[in-house]
Structure 1
């Protein structure tokens, strides 16, 4: 391999390492932020049970932020994977064998970092989506219960109004019956007086 080719080759390797380190640093910062956001999401749900009724605007904006961060982290991991693949290709290039042990060690270190970040990302993401799914399920059940209670309340109110109306009608009928009874009694009394008067 000529000196020019070695210099170019060495620059290519260093460029790949630089890209890998930049992506790793960015991933590290974003994974910390992602983890904190997931933790705050979990805490806000535990603190505020009203989110089960319906997600608040802050809850849905937090959801949107988490989904956006998930997409961004997936892209960064894909980019880092691509850089690692290019580094692996480079170590297998002809003429690189003299430096291969050191390069392989460096490549393995970058692969381990990628594996750790990928594992951490998937663990945090799965925890978040499990929590959100659980909250959606509990929220749905809670809304169904509240809906049942309120509809039962409406039915109870209707029943209560019906019973009041029924009681009012019953009293009216009783009053009417009493009046009719008194009229009949008066009529009977008048008839009796008339008959008595006629007899006399």
Structure 2
């Protein structure tokens, strides 16, 4: 029964991973402002910022829910009795895939936020012409992009650090829970033996008297 349940959960995890992978590809294109006119049903995103933001937010929420579901599937698999080194290796691989998806998702969100802020900065500073193209010198433009790139890299590193801390904390808590389960099992075994020991002691006392 345990093996059958594990196989079902593993198939569900693999299917969900494939779906998330495809969603992240589309999510990355929309976040970069390159929805690709006429492709994948995402045409018109470039020429309609409001529509693009709506699609981005909607897809962001959908991917977050899928990541949470994948995390739950991984937890369910880890709660099943271990069936050998191969199963443990497979579970670890699923966790690494989830971690990679979370990092990619947060990176896309950070890139999107930085792009929107940069565009708003250009508009607010009067550095964009009526056609939406920057009208500043090449030198100033390069300096601005270098600064934005530095901010983006810093934000990406911070997001990755937070994800790694959360994953390590979760794994530590899971290990503690498993240790407590084993300890509880040992306590139960000992308590089940105590009545026999107690009965033997009482019988010996009666014989002496």
Q: Give the TM interval when normalised to the shorter protein.
A: 0.5 to 0.7
- The structure whose residues are more often helix, as a share, is 1
Cα pair 1:24 1:80 within 8 Å, conserved: yes
Tell me the distance in 1 between the aligned counterparts of 2:84 and 2:92. 12
State which drifts further: 69-78 or 134-143. Answer: 134-143
Aligned to 1:155: none
Aligned to 2:15: 22
CA distance 1:42–1:33, shift in 2 (3 Å): closer
State which drifts further: 134-143 or 17-26. Answer: 134-143
CA distance 1:23–1:108, shift in 2 (3 Å): same
Aligned to 1:84: 74
Shift of 1:67: 1.1
Which stretches in structure 2 are left out of the alignment for 5+ residues? 38-45, 131-209
Cα pair 1:42 1:131 within 8 Å, conserved: no
Aligned to 1:36: 29
- CA RMSD, Structure 1 to Structure 2 (Å): 2.8
Tell me the distance in 2 between the aligned counterparts of 1:12 and 1:102. 16
Aligned to 1:195: none
* TM-score normalised by L of structure 1: 0.54
Tell me the distance in 1 between the aligned counterparts of 2:120 and 2:111. 14
Which stretches in structure 1 are left out of the alignment for 5+ residues? 1-7, 45-55, 147-200
CA distance 1:21–1:42, shift in 2 (3 Å): closer
Cα pair 2:27 2:56 within 8 Å, conserved: yes
Shift of 1:105: 0.5
Aligned to 1:58: 48
Aligned to 2:87: 103
Flag the structure with larger Rg: 1
Tell me the distance in 1 between the aligned counterparts of 2:28 and 2:16. 18
Aligned to 1:129: 113
Aligned to 2:62: 72
* TM-score normalised by L of structure 2: 0.52
Render the CA deviation track for 1:135-187: whole Å, top value 9, x for unaligned. 123223339x99xxxxxxxxxxxxxxxxxxxxxxxxxxxxxxxxxxxxxxxxx
- Aligned pair count reads 122
Shift of 1:18: 1.1
